Structure 1
Amino acid sequence: MQNVLNALRALEEVAARQPIGVADLARAMDLPKSSVQRSLVTLHEAGWIRPTAQAPTRWLVTTKALHVGRAATGELGLRDIAVPVMEELRRRTDETVHLAVPEAGKIVLIERLETSKAVRIILPLGQNLPPHASANGKAVLAASPAETVEHYLTEGLARFTDASITDPDLLRAELAEIRARGYATNSGEWRPDVSAVAAAVTPLGGSPVASISINVPTSRLTDESRSAYGIAVCEAARTVGEALGRAGGA
Protein backbone atom coordinates (compact mmCIF):
# COMPACT_ATOMS: atom_id res chain seq x y z
CA MET A 1 0.00 0.00 0.00
CA GLN A 2 2.80 2.44 0.84
CA ASN A 3 4.34 1.97 -2.61
CA VAL A 4 1.02 2.89 -4.21
CA LEU A 5 0.71 5.99 -2.03
CA ASN A 6 4.27 7.01 -2.87
CA ALA A 7 3.57 6.65 -6.58
CA LEU A 8 0.41 8.77 -6.34
CA ARG A 9 2.28 11.43 -4.34
CA ALA A 10 5.06 11.40 -6.93
CA LEU A 11 2.52 11.88 -9.72
CA GLU A 12 1.02 14.88 -7.95
CA GLU A 13 4.43 16.43 -7.31
CA VAL A 14 5.57 15.91 -10.91
CA ALA A 15 2.37 17.57 -12.13
CA ALA A 16 2.95 20.55 -9.84
CA ARG A 17 6.70 20.98 -10.51
CA GLN A 18 7.32 19.56 -14.00
CA PRO A 19 9.82 19.08 -15.44
CA ILE A 20 11.53 17.73 -12.34
CA GLY A 21 14.42 15.36 -11.65
CA VAL A 22 14.57 12.55 -9.13
CA ALA A 23 16.78 14.45 -6.67
CA ASP A 24 14.48 17.48 -6.50
CA LEU A 25 11.45 15.22 -6.30
CA ALA A 26 12.97 13.25 -3.41
CA ARG A 27 13.58 16.49 -1.52
CA ALA A 28 10.03 17.68 -2.18
CA MET A 29 8.58 14.38 -0.96
CA ASP A 30 11.10 13.96 1.87
CA LEU A 31 11.80 10.40 0.74
CA PRO A 32 14.96 8.48 -0.23
CA LYS A 33 15.93 8.80 -3.88
CA SER A 34 15.67 5.02 -4.27
CA SER A 35 12.00 5.05 -3.20
CA VAL A 36 11.18 7.95 -5.49
CA GLN A 37 13.01 6.31 -8.40
CA ARG A 38 10.89 3.16 -7.98
CA SER A 39 7.74 5.29 -8.05
CA LEU A 40 8.90 7.08 -11.21
CA VAL A 41 9.64 3.79 -12.97
CA THR A 42 6.17 2.51 -12.06
CA LEU A 43 4.46 5.68 -13.28
CA HIS A 44 6.48 5.66 -16.50
CA GLU A 45 5.68 2.03 -17.25
CA ALA A 46 1.99 2.77 -16.66
CA GLY A 47 2.10 5.73 -19.06
CA TRP A 48 1.46 8.51 -16.53
CA ILE A 49 4.80 10.31 -16.92
CA ARG A 50 7.53 10.57 -19.55
CA PRO A 51 11.16 11.73 -19.51
CA THR A 52 12.37 14.85 -21.24
CA ALA A 53 14.73 14.38 -24.17
CA GLN A 54 17.64 16.21 -22.52
CA ALA A 55 20.07 14.88 -19.89
CA PRO A 56 19.90 14.71 -16.94
CA THR A 57 16.51 13.02 -17.00
CA ARG A 58 13.60 15.12 -15.81
CA TRP A 59 9.98 14.06 -15.77
CA LEU A 60 6.73 15.38 -17.26
CA VAL A 61 3.13 14.25 -16.83
CA THR A 62 1.59 12.72 -19.98
CA THR A 63 -1.92 13.43 -21.23
CA LYS A 64 -3.16 10.21 -19.65
CA ALA A 65 -4.21 12.23 -16.60
CA LEU A 66 -6.31 14.47 -18.85
CA HIS A 67 -7.87 11.41 -20.47
CA VAL A 68 -8.84 9.90 -17.11
CA GLY A 69 -10.23 13.22 -15.90
CA ARG A 70 -12.30 13.70 -19.01
CA ALA A 71 -13.58 10.13 -18.79
CA ALA A 72 -14.73 10.77 -15.22
CA THR A 73 -16.87 13.67 -16.40
CA GLY A 74 -18.05 12.01 -19.62
CA GLU A 75 -16.33 14.61 -21.82
CA LEU A 76 -14.62 12.35 -24.34
CA GLY A 77 -13.61 13.48 -27.81
CA LEU A 78 -11.30 12.10 -30.48
CA ARG A 79 -8.18 13.85 -29.15
CA ASP A 80 -8.96 12.92 -25.54
CA ILE A 81 -9.21 9.26 -26.45
CA ALA A 82 -6.44 9.15 -29.04
CA VAL A 83 -3.61 11.03 -27.33
CA PRO A 84 -3.00 8.53 -24.46
CA VAL A 85 -2.90 5.74 -27.04
CA MET A 86 -0.52 7.80 -29.15
CA GLU A 87 1.66 8.41 -26.08
CA GLU A 88 2.02 4.67 -25.61
CA LEU A 89 2.79 4.23 -29.31
CA ARG A 90 5.52 6.88 -29.12
CA ARG A 91 6.93 5.29 -25.97
CA ARG A 92 7.16 1.90 -27.67
CA THR A 93 8.72 3.17 -30.91
CA ASP A 94 10.36 6.50 -29.98
CA GLU A 95 9.19 7.85 -33.32
CA THR A 96 6.87 10.75 -34.13
CA VAL A 97 3.19 9.84 -34.00
CA HIS A 98 0.49 11.75 -35.88
CA LEU A 99 -3.29 11.92 -35.67
CA ALA A 100 -5.07 13.09 -38.82
CA VAL A 101 -8.72 13.48 -39.81
CA PRO A 102 -10.56 13.56 -43.14
CA GLU A 103 -12.04 16.99 -43.81
CA ALA A 104 -13.70 18.17 -47.02
CA GLY A 105 -11.79 15.72 -49.19
CA LYS A 106 -8.47 16.43 -47.47
CA ILE A 107 -6.51 14.78 -44.68
CA VAL A 108 -5.65 17.27 -41.94
CA LEU A 109 -2.99 16.76 -39.25
CA ILE A 110 -4.52 17.65 -35.87
CA GLU A 111 -2.11 16.16 -33.30
CA ARG A 112 1.60 15.38 -33.16
CA LEU A 113 3.76 13.68 -30.54
CA GLU A 114 7.45 13.97 -31.36
CA THR A 115 10.31 11.51 -31.08
CA SER A 116 13.28 12.26 -28.84
CA LYS A 117 15.65 11.47 -31.72
CA ALA A 118 17.59 14.32 -33.25
CA VAL A 119 16.60 13.45 -36.83
CA ARG A 120 12.82 13.65 -36.98
CA ILE A 121 9.79 14.51 -39.08
CA ILE A 122 8.24 17.85 -38.14
CA LEU A 123 4.96 18.86 -39.79
CA PRO A 124 2.81 21.74 -38.52
CA LEU A 125 -0.62 21.06 -37.06
CA GLY A 126 -3.22 21.91 -39.68
CA GLN A 127 -1.01 20.56 -42.47
CA ASN A 128 -3.01 19.08 -45.36
CA LEU A 129 -1.74 15.64 -46.37
CA PRO A 130 -2.44 14.34 -49.89
CA PRO A 131 -4.87 11.39 -49.62
CA HIS A 132 -3.14 9.29 -52.29
CA ALA A 133 0.46 10.14 -51.36
CA SER A 134 0.48 9.86 -47.57
CA ALA A 135 0.08 6.88 -45.27
CA ASN A 136 -2.67 8.64 -43.32
CA GLY A 137 -4.51 9.49 -46.50
CA LYS A 138 -4.28 6.03 -48.02
CA ALA A 139 -5.40 4.45 -44.74
CA VAL A 140 -8.52 6.64 -44.77
CA LEU A 141 -9.21 6.04 -48.45
CA ALA A 142 -8.88 2.27 -48.02
CA ALA A 143 -11.46 2.33 -45.22
CA SER A 144 -13.85 4.63 -47.10
CA PRO A 145 -16.82 3.59 -49.26
CA ALA A 146 -16.01 2.81 -52.89
CA GLU A 147 -17.91 5.87 -54.11
CA THR A 148 -15.68 8.11 -51.99
CA VAL A 149 -12.58 6.62 -53.59
CA GLU A 150 -13.98 6.93 -57.11
CA HIS A 151 -14.97 10.54 -56.52
CA TYR A 152 -11.44 11.30 -55.35
CA LEU A 153 -10.00 9.64 -58.44
CA THR A 154 -12.00 11.92 -60.74
CA GLU A 155 -10.01 14.87 -59.40
CA GLY A 156 -6.74 13.43 -60.69
CA LEU A 157 -3.70 12.15 -58.79
CA ALA A 158 -0.95 14.75 -58.46
CA ARG A 159 2.69 13.71 -58.65
CA PHE A 160 4.78 14.95 -55.71
CA THR A 161 7.84 12.71 -56.09
CA ASP A 162 8.97 9.92 -58.40
CA ALA A 163 7.38 7.46 -55.94
CA SER A 164 3.90 9.05 -56.08
CA ILE A 165 1.07 6.85 -57.37
CA THR A 166 -0.63 8.71 -60.23
CA ASP A 167 -2.35 5.81 -62.03
CA PRO A 168 -5.92 5.22 -60.74
CA ASP A 169 -5.69 1.46 -61.25
CA LEU A 170 -2.44 1.28 -59.31
CA LEU A 171 -4.02 3.24 -56.46
CA ARG A 172 -7.06 0.92 -56.45
CA ALA A 173 -4.70 -2.05 -56.21
CA GLU A 174 -2.75 -0.37 -53.42
CA LEU A 175 -5.93 0.31 -51.46
CA ALA A 176 -6.96 -3.33 -51.83
CA GLU A 177 -3.62 -4.40 -50.33
CA ILE A 178 -4.10 -1.95 -47.47
CA ARG A 179 -7.52 -3.42 -46.69
CA ALA A 180 -6.02 -6.91 -46.68
CA ARG A 181 -3.14 -6.17 -44.30
CA GLY A 182 -4.85 -3.45 -42.23
CA TYR A 183 -2.35 -0.60 -42.59
CA ALA A 184 -1.01 1.82 -45.19
CA THR A 185 2.57 2.81 -45.93
CA ASN A 186 4.24 5.80 -47.54
CA SER A 187 7.84 5.61 -48.66
CA GLY A 188 8.71 9.07 -49.91
CA GLU A 189 5.55 9.45 -52.03
CA TRP A 190 4.78 12.98 -50.84
CA ARG A 191 8.23 14.20 -49.82
CA PRO A 192 11.35 12.12 -50.45
CA ASP A 193 12.50 12.46 -46.84
CA VAL A 194 9.14 11.56 -45.25
CA SER A 195 7.90 7.98 -44.75
CA ALA A 196 5.12 6.65 -42.54
CA VAL A 197 2.91 3.73 -41.58
CA ALA A 198 -0.76 4.41 -40.71
CA ALA A 199 -4.07 2.76 -39.85
CA ALA A 200 -7.59 4.15 -40.02
CA VAL A 201 -9.75 4.70 -36.94
CA THR A 202 -13.22 3.30 -37.65
CA PRO A 203 -15.63 3.31 -34.69
CA LEU A 204 -17.92 0.26 -34.70
CA GLY A 205 -16.62 -0.71 -38.13
CA GLY A 206 -18.14 2.38 -39.75
CA SER A 207 -16.57 5.07 -41.91
CA PRO A 208 -13.09 6.31 -40.94
CA VAL A 209 -13.03 9.32 -38.60
CA ALA A 210 -9.25 9.58 -38.30
CA SER A 211 -5.95 7.83 -38.86
CA ILE A 212 -2.93 7.27 -36.64
CA SER A 213 0.57 7.09 -38.08
CA ILE A 214 4.17 6.50 -37.12
CA ASN A 215 6.35 8.92 -39.08
CA VAL A 216 10.07 8.53 -39.75
CA PRO A 217 12.76 9.87 -42.06
CA THR A 218 12.76 7.67 -45.17
CA SER A 219 16.32 6.56 -44.43
CA ARG A 220 15.19 5.09 -41.10
CA LEU A 221 12.27 2.95 -42.36
CA THR A 222 13.32 -0.65 -43.01
CA ASP A 223 11.24 -3.62 -44.11
CA GLU A 224 11.41 -4.98 -40.57
CA SER A 225 10.39 -1.73 -38.88
CA ARG A 226 7.63 -1.13 -41.46
CA SER A 227 6.01 -4.44 -40.54
CA ALA A 228 6.40 -3.88 -36.80
CA TYR A 229 5.00 -0.35 -37.03
CA GLY A 230 2.09 -1.67 -39.10
CA ILE A 231 1.10 -4.06 -36.32
CA ALA A 232 1.49 -1.30 -33.74
CA VAL A 233 -0.62 1.31 -35.55
CA CYS A 234 -3.36 -1.24 -36.27
CA GLU A 235 -3.56 -2.00 -32.57
CA ALA A 236 -3.60 1.70 -31.67
CA ALA A 237 -6.27 2.57 -34.24
CA ARG A 238 -8.44 -0.34 -33.13
CA THR A 239 -8.14 0.74 -29.48
CA VAL A 240 -9.18 4.32 -30.30
CA GLY A 241 -12.02 3.17 -32.55
CA GLU A 242 -13.43 0.85 -29.89
CA ALA A 243 -13.20 3.58 -27.24
CA LEU A 244 -14.97 6.08 -29.51
CA GLY A 245 -17.68 3.51 -30.14
CA ARG A 246 -18.20 3.00 -26.42
CA ALA A 247 -18.24 6.75 -25.78
CA GLY A 248 -20.77 7.29 -28.56
CA GLY A 249 -23.01 4.55 -27.28
CA ALA A 250 -22.86 5.64 -23.63
Structure 2
Amino acid sequence: MTGGTGATERVADVLLLFAAGPPTLGVSRVSRELDLSKAVVHRILKSLGSRDLIAYDPETREYRLGPAAAALGSRALRESDLRTTALPLLTELRDRLHETVTVSSKVHGGRIYLDQAVGTHEITMSVELGRAYPLHAGSSGKCMLAYSAADEVDRLLAGELAALTSSTPTDPDALRLELDRIRELGYAASAGERQSDAGSVAVPVFGPGGLVGAVSVCGPRFRVTGDFVAATAPEVIEIADRLTARLGGIAPDRARPTSSGRTR
Protein backbone atom coordinates (compact mmCIF):
# COMPACT_ATOMS: atom_id res chain seq x y z
CA MET A 1 0.00 0.00 0.00
CA THR A 2 1.36 3.40 -0.89
CA GLY A 3 1.31 6.36 1.46
CA GLY A 4 -1.15 8.19 -0.77
CA THR A 5 -3.58 5.28 -0.79
CA GLY A 6 -3.33 4.94 2.98
CA ALA A 7 -4.05 8.65 3.47
CA THR A 8 -7.06 8.47 1.18
CA GLU A 9 -8.44 5.48 3.08
CA ARG A 10 -8.02 7.31 6.39
CA VAL A 11 -10.01 10.27 5.07
CA ALA A 12 -12.73 7.91 3.82
CA ASP A 13 -12.82 6.11 7.18
CA VAL A 14 -13.33 9.40 9.02
CA LEU A 15 -16.26 10.35 6.78
CA LEU A 16 -17.81 6.89 7.14
CA LEU A 17 -17.51 7.14 10.91
CA PHE A 18 -19.64 10.29 10.83
CA ALA A 19 -22.19 8.48 8.64
CA ALA A 20 -22.49 5.49 10.98
CA GLY A 21 -21.86 7.04 14.39
CA PRO A 22 -23.45 9.74 16.58
CA PRO A 23 -24.42 13.12 15.08
CA THR A 24 -21.31 14.84 16.45
CA LEU A 25 -17.78 13.59 17.12
CA GLY A 26 -14.72 15.09 18.73
CA VAL A 27 -11.08 14.56 17.83
CA SER A 28 -10.51 12.16 20.74
CA ARG A 29 -13.49 9.96 19.80
CA VAL A 30 -12.43 9.75 16.14
CA SER A 31 -8.85 9.01 17.18
CA ARG A 32 -9.99 6.21 19.49
CA GLU A 33 -12.50 4.66 17.08
CA LEU A 34 -10.11 4.56 14.11
CA ASP A 35 -6.86 4.01 16.04
CA LEU A 36 -5.29 7.14 14.56
CA SER A 37 -3.19 9.77 16.27
CA LYS A 38 -4.98 12.97 17.29
CA ALA A 39 -2.61 14.95 15.06
CA VAL A 40 -3.63 12.91 12.01
CA VAL A 41 -7.30 13.17 12.89
CA HIS A 42 -7.04 16.94 13.35
CA ARG A 43 -5.41 17.36 9.91
CA ILE A 44 -8.10 15.25 8.25
CA LEU A 45 -10.93 17.13 9.96
CA LYS A 46 -9.41 20.48 9.04
CA SER A 47 -9.12 19.40 5.40
CA LEU A 48 -12.70 18.10 5.30
CA GLY A 49 -13.93 21.26 6.97
CA SER A 50 -12.28 23.43 4.32
CA ARG A 51 -14.53 21.76 1.74
CA ASP A 52 -17.69 21.94 3.92
CA LEU A 53 -17.82 18.15 4.18
CA ILE A 54 -17.87 18.56 7.94
CA ALA A 55 -18.66 21.53 10.20
CA TYR A 56 -17.12 22.53 13.54
CA ASP A 57 -19.15 23.67 16.54
CA PRO A 58 -16.93 25.92 18.71
CA GLU A 59 -19.26 25.60 21.72
CA THR A 60 -19.12 21.78 21.92
CA ARG A 61 -15.70 21.56 20.20
CA GLU A 62 -17.12 18.71 18.10
CA TYR A 63 -17.75 18.14 14.41
CA ARG A 64 -20.77 17.10 12.39
CA LEU A 65 -21.37 16.36 8.72
CA GLY A 66 -21.49 19.55 6.67
CA PRO A 67 -23.66 20.79 3.80
CA ALA A 68 -21.37 19.38 1.10
CA ALA A 69 -21.73 15.90 2.60
CA ALA A 70 -25.51 16.31 2.61
CA ALA A 71 -25.42 17.34 -1.06
CA LEU A 72 -23.35 14.30 -1.96
CA GLY A 73 -25.70 12.00 -0.07
CA SER A 74 -28.79 13.47 -1.71
CA ARG A 75 -27.24 13.14 -5.17
CA ALA A 76 -26.28 9.52 -4.50
CA LEU A 77 -29.81 8.66 -3.35
CA ARG A 78 -31.41 10.34 -6.37
CA GLU A 79 -29.19 8.55 -8.86
CA SER A 80 -29.13 5.08 -7.29
CA ASP A 81 -30.22 2.47 -9.85
CA LEU A 82 -31.39 0.24 -7.02
CA ARG A 83 -33.60 2.97 -5.63
CA THR A 84 -35.15 4.12 -8.90
CA THR A 85 -35.78 0.57 -10.10
CA ALA A 86 -37.25 -0.48 -6.75
CA LEU A 87 -39.63 2.41 -6.12
CA PRO A 88 -42.61 1.27 -8.25
CA LEU A 89 -42.31 -2.23 -6.80
CA LEU A 90 -42.22 -0.84 -3.26
CA THR A 91 -45.40 1.11 -3.98
CA GLU A 92 -47.08 -1.96 -5.46
CA LEU A 93 -46.32 -4.06 -2.39
CA ARG A 94 -47.32 -1.24 0.00
CA ASP A 95 -50.69 -0.96 -1.74
CA ARG A 96 -51.22 -4.70 -1.28
CA LEU A 97 -50.13 -4.96 2.36
CA HIS A 98 -50.74 -1.40 3.62
CA GLU A 99 -47.50 -1.52 5.65
CA THR A 100 -44.33 0.46 4.95
CA VAL A 101 -42.07 -1.13 2.33
CA THR A 102 -38.38 -0.18 2.12
CA VAL A 103 -35.33 -0.80 -0.01
CA SER A 104 -31.86 -0.87 1.56
CA SER A 105 -28.39 -0.88 0.04
CA LYS A 106 -25.36 -2.63 1.47
CA VAL A 107 -22.50 -0.24 2.25
CA HIS A 108 -19.09 -0.57 3.86
CA GLY A 109 -19.63 -1.89 7.37
CA GLY A 110 -23.44 -1.95 7.23
CA ARG A 111 -26.42 -0.81 5.21
CA ILE A 112 -28.59 2.25 4.57
CA TYR A 113 -32.23 2.79 3.64
CA LEU A 114 -32.48 4.22 0.13
CA ASP A 115 -36.23 4.77 -0.08
CA GLN A 116 -39.62 3.74 1.27
CA ALA A 117 -43.29 3.60 0.42
CA VAL A 118 -44.92 4.58 3.71
CA GLY A 119 -47.83 2.46 4.93
CA THR A 120 -51.45 3.58 4.79
CA HIS A 121 -52.53 2.67 8.34
CA GLU A 122 -53.22 5.46 10.81
CA ILE A 123 -50.36 4.10 12.96
CA THR A 124 -47.48 3.23 10.67
CA MET A 125 -43.69 3.21 10.41
CA SER A 126 -41.22 5.33 8.53
CA VAL A 127 -37.44 4.93 8.35
CA GLU A 128 -34.55 7.37 8.24
CA LEU A 129 -33.05 7.41 4.74
CA GLY A 130 -29.28 7.51 4.32
CA ARG A 131 -28.34 6.60 7.90
CA ALA A 132 -26.01 3.62 8.31
CA TYR A 133 -27.13 0.63 10.40
CA PRO A 134 -25.24 -2.55 11.32
CA LEU A 135 -25.95 -5.79 9.48
CA HIS A 136 -26.64 -7.94 12.54
CA ALA A 137 -29.69 -5.97 13.71
CA GLY A 138 -33.02 -6.14 11.86
CA SER A 139 -34.31 -8.23 9.00
CA SER A 140 -32.83 -6.14 6.16
CA GLY A 141 -29.34 -6.32 7.63
CA LYS A 142 -29.53 -10.00 8.54
CA CYS A 143 -30.72 -11.14 5.13
CA MET A 144 -27.85 -9.20 3.50
CA LEU A 145 -25.39 -10.66 5.99
CA ALA A 146 -26.66 -14.17 5.25
CA TYR A 147 -25.73 -13.78 1.59
CA SER A 148 -22.43 -11.95 2.16
CA ALA A 149 -19.03 -13.54 1.60
CA ALA A 150 -17.99 -16.05 4.26
CA ASP A 151 -14.90 -14.06 5.30
CA GLU A 152 -17.02 -10.94 5.80
CA VAL A 153 -19.46 -12.88 7.97
CA ASP A 154 -16.57 -14.29 9.99
CA ARG A 155 -15.09 -10.82 10.55
CA LEU A 156 -18.41 -9.38 11.69
CA LEU A 157 -19.18 -12.26 14.05
CA ALA A 158 -15.67 -12.06 15.53
CA GLY A 159 -16.19 -8.41 16.47
CA GLU A 160 -18.54 -6.65 18.85
CA LEU A 161 -22.23 -7.13 18.07
CA ALA A 162 -23.68 -3.95 19.53
CA ALA A 163 -27.10 -4.21 21.20
CA LEU A 164 -29.33 -1.52 19.69
CA THR A 165 -32.26 -2.85 21.78
CA SER A 166 -32.77 -5.62 24.31
CA SER A 167 -33.78 -7.91 21.40
CA THR A 168 -30.75 -7.31 19.15
CA PRO A 169 -28.94 -10.61 18.45
CA THR A 170 -25.50 -10.44 20.08
CA ASP A 171 -24.57 -14.13 20.37
CA PRO A 172 -22.36 -14.96 17.35
CA ASP A 173 -23.12 -18.71 17.46
CA ALA A 174 -26.87 -18.16 17.59
CA LEU A 175 -26.65 -15.56 14.83
CA ARG A 176 -24.66 -17.92 12.61
CA LEU A 177 -27.42 -20.54 12.99
CA GLU A 178 -30.01 -17.91 12.13
CA LEU A 179 -28.09 -16.94 8.98
CA ASP A 180 -28.19 -20.60 7.88
CA ARG A 181 -31.96 -20.59 8.36
CA ILE A 182 -32.31 -17.33 6.42
CA ARG A 183 -30.45 -18.85 3.45
CA GLU A 184 -32.72 -21.88 3.61
CA LEU A 185 -35.92 -19.86 3.62
CA GLY A 186 -34.74 -16.90 1.54
CA TYR A 187 -36.02 -14.28 3.97
CA ALA A 188 -35.25 -12.83 7.41
CA ALA A 189 -37.61 -11.68 10.15
CA SER A 190 -37.08 -9.27 13.03
CA ALA A 191 -39.03 -8.38 16.16
CA GLY A 192 -37.69 -5.31 17.94
CA GLU A 193 -34.03 -5.85 16.99
CA ARG A 194 -33.22 -2.42 15.55
CA GLN A 195 -36.16 -0.50 16.98
CA SER A 196 -37.90 -1.97 20.00
CA ASP A 197 -41.49 -1.39 18.91
CA ALA A 198 -41.07 -2.48 15.27
CA GLY A 199 -41.17 -5.75 13.35
CA SER A 200 -40.18 -6.59 9.79
CA VAL A 201 -39.56 -9.23 7.14
CA ALA A 202 -36.91 -8.78 4.42
CA VAL A 203 -35.53 -10.49 1.31
CA PRO A 204 -32.15 -9.88 -0.35
CA VAL A 205 -31.79 -8.32 -3.81
CA PHE A 206 -29.05 -9.16 -6.32
CA GLY A 207 -27.48 -7.38 -9.28
CA PRO A 208 -25.10 -8.63 -11.98
CA GLY A 209 -22.23 -8.62 -9.49
CA GLY A 210 -24.11 -10.28 -6.64
CA LEU A 211 -25.79 -8.97 -3.49
CA VAL A 212 -26.80 -5.29 -3.65
CA GLY A 213 -29.49 -4.77 -1.02
CA ALA A 214 -32.81 -5.86 0.44
CA VAL A 215 -36.54 -5.19 0.31
CA SER A 216 -38.45 -5.20 3.60
CA VAL A 217 -41.96 -4.80 4.94
CA CYS A 218 -42.06 -3.19 8.38
CA GLY A 219 -44.61 -1.99 10.87
CA PRO A 220 -45.54 -1.88 14.56
CA ARG A 221 -44.88 -5.14 16.41
CA PHE A 222 -48.53 -5.54 17.34
CA ARG A 223 -49.31 -5.97 13.62
CA VAL A 224 -46.09 -7.57 12.36
CA THR A 225 -46.61 -10.85 14.20
CA GLY A 226 -45.26 -14.31 13.40
CA ASP A 227 -48.44 -15.07 11.45
CA PHE A 228 -48.04 -11.84 9.48
CA VAL A 229 -44.43 -12.73 8.60
CA ALA A 230 -45.40 -16.24 7.46
CA ALA A 231 -48.23 -14.92 5.31
CA THR A 232 -46.25 -11.99 3.90
CA ALA A 233 -42.87 -13.61 3.16
CA PRO A 234 -43.94 -15.11 -0.22
CA GLU A 235 -45.08 -11.68 -1.42
CA VAL A 236 -41.84 -10.01 -0.33
CA ILE A 237 -39.84 -12.77 -2.06
CA GLU A 238 -41.84 -12.21 -5.25
CA ILE A 239 -41.16 -8.46 -5.26
CA ALA A 240 -37.47 -8.89 -4.39
CA ASP A 241 -37.02 -11.47 -7.14
CA ARG A 242 -38.71 -9.19 -9.68
CA LEU A 243 -36.38 -6.39 -8.62
CA THR A 244 -33.39 -8.73 -8.93
CA ALA A 245 -34.50 -9.65 -12.46
CA ARG A 246 -34.89 -5.99 -13.47
CA LEU A 247 -31.38 -5.27 -12.17
CA GLY A 248 -29.94 -8.18 -14.17
CA GLY A 249 -29.18 -10.34 -11.14
CA ILE A 250 -29.99 -13.95 -10.31
CA ALA A 251 -32.03 -14.90 -7.24
CA PRO A 252 -30.63 -17.78 -5.14
CA ASP A 253 -32.20 -21.20 -4.82
CA ARG A 254 -34.21 -21.56 -1.62
CA ALA A 255 -37.11 -23.39 -0.06
CA ARG A 256 -39.89 -20.95 -0.81
CA PRO A 257 -42.45 -20.44 1.98
CA THR A 258 -46.14 -20.85 1.27
CA SER A 259 -48.78 -18.58 2.82
CA SER A 260 -49.12 -21.13 5.66
CA GLY A 261 -45.47 -20.58 6.60
CA ARG A 262 -44.35 -24.04 5.47
CA THR A 263 -41.52 -24.43 2.97
CA ARG A 264 -41.59 -26.34 -0.26
Q: TM-score, normalised by structure 2?
A: 0.62
Runs (4+) of structure 1 moved beyond 3 Å? none
Q: In the TM superposition, what are the counterparts of 1:16-165 in structure 2 within 5 Å?
A: 77-165=81-169
Q: In the TM superposition, what are the counterparts of 1:170-181 in structure 2 within 5 Å?
A: 170-181=174-185
Q: Residue in 1 aligned with 2:221? A: 218
Q: How many residues align?
A: 171
CA RMSD of aligned residues (A): 1.7
Whole-Å Cα distance in 2 between the matches of residues 88 and 162 of structure 1?
Answer: 33
Q: What is the letter of the counterpart of residue 167 of structure 1?
A: D
In structure 2, list runs of 5 or more residues that go unmatched: 1-78, 250-264
Q: Residue in 1 aligned with 2:246? A: 243
Indicate conservation of the 8 Å contact 1:183/1:200, yes or no: yes
Q: Residue in 2 aligned with 1:231? A: 234
Q: Residue in 2 aligned with 1:188? A: 192
Q: TM-score, normalised by structure 1?
A: 0.65
Q: What is the letter of the counterpart of residue 113 of structure 1?
A: A
Indicate conservation of the 8 Å contact 2:218/2:224, yes or no: no
Whole-Å Cα distance in 2 between the matches of residues 236 and 141 of structure 1?
Answer: 19
Whole-Å Cα distance in 1 between the matches of residues 178 and 171 of structure 2?
Answer: 11
Q: What is the letter of the counterpart of residue 234 of structure 1?
A: I
The Cα offsets for residues 4-28 of structure 1, whole Å up to 9 and x where unpaired, read as xxxxxxxxxxxxxxxxxxxxxxxxx
Whole-Å Cα distance in 1 between the matches of residues 247 and 126 of structure 2?
Answer: 27
Percent identical among aligned pairs is 35
Indicate conservation of the 8 Å contact 1:143/1:207, yes or no: no
- In structure 2, relative to structure 1, the CA distance for the partners of 1:243 and 1:168 (3 Å cut) is same
Whole-Å Cα distance in 2 between the matches of residues 209 and 108 of structure 1?
Answer: 11
Q: 1:199 Cα shift?
A: 0.4
In structure 1, list runs of 5 or more residues that go unmatched: 1-74
Q: Residue in 2 aligned with 1:197? A: 201
Q: Is the helix fraction higher in 1 or 2?
A: 1
